Amino acid sequence: MQKSIKINYLVFAVLSIGLIAIMFFVLYKNHKSKVLNEPEKVTLEFYRYYLQDIYNKNDSVESPSAKLNSNGIYQLDTNEHLKFLNESLYFSDAFYESEIPVFEKCNDDLKTVTIQEVNDSGTFPEEFADACDFVFYHQWVGGQGEELNTVDIVKSTVNGDLAVVTTVIGNREFGPYSYPIVTLVKESNGWKISDIEISFDNS
């Protein structure tokens, strides 16, 4: 009787260990065999480059700053921003086109900002223009300079020449921070980013 029980326990243990080993093998194989689609590759490559070379290092390429023009009026200087969008090869023309109305609103507000009040306050002209709030945070990850050093793909959908890729940006020590939702369009020279929306919802 006792010998039979011991054999049953032994069989159960062997089967359990075998089942666990199979599960680990399947999970490992699935993880190793996950292949990114082209929009996911472009998005991942962009954010790796962005976090390493742009974020907290060269803010003017992400968001233009206000400068005095030849008429003594504060206006956004989009030259460096537009140059980056064109030369980085990650962005569609549609990306900048969608920004134009936002920049125009900001410029309208900046027209009322005087040199005197900026000099007296010792701050930026955008501080006096409600429509220019976007310049004070990182539009492609959210936040205001937090230490961010990781990026991963959460999910994506591809429908013909349009793709939406959700990423997670975070910190190795503290975990996820934001979830940029990147829209891409397929053009003659590959997939290009046409829009970036920031979410802080991990659902």
Establish if 133 belongs to a structural domain.
yes
- pLDDT tens figures, 125-135: 999 999 999 99
pLDDT range class, residue 17, cuts 50, 70, 90: low
Establish if 163 belongs to a structural domain.
no
pLDDT at 16 over 70: no
- Provide the residue range defining the domain that includes 73: 65-137
pLDDT at 8 over 80: no
Establish if 172 belongs to a structural domain.
no
- pLDDT tens figures, 136-174: 999 999 988 999 999 999 999 999 999 999 999 999 999
CA distance 147 to 203: 23
Establish if 109 belongs to a structural domain.
yes
Establish if 41 belongs to a structural domain.
no
Establish if 193 belongs to a structural domain.
no
Cβ burial of 102 (10 Å; 0-12, 13-18, 19+) is middle
Nearest to 67 by CA among 81, 87, 55: 81
- pLDDT, position 58: 86
Query: What is the chain's Cα-based Rg?
Result: 25
Establish if 167 belongs to a structural domain.
no
Establish if 114 belongs to a structural domain.
yes
Point out the least confidently predicted range of 53-67, 89-103, 187-201.
53-67
Q: Average per-residue pLDDT in the chain?
A: 88
Point out the least confidently predicted range of 17-26, 28-37, 163-172.
17-26
Q: Is the dihedral of CA 124, 102, 97, 142 positive or negative?
A: positive
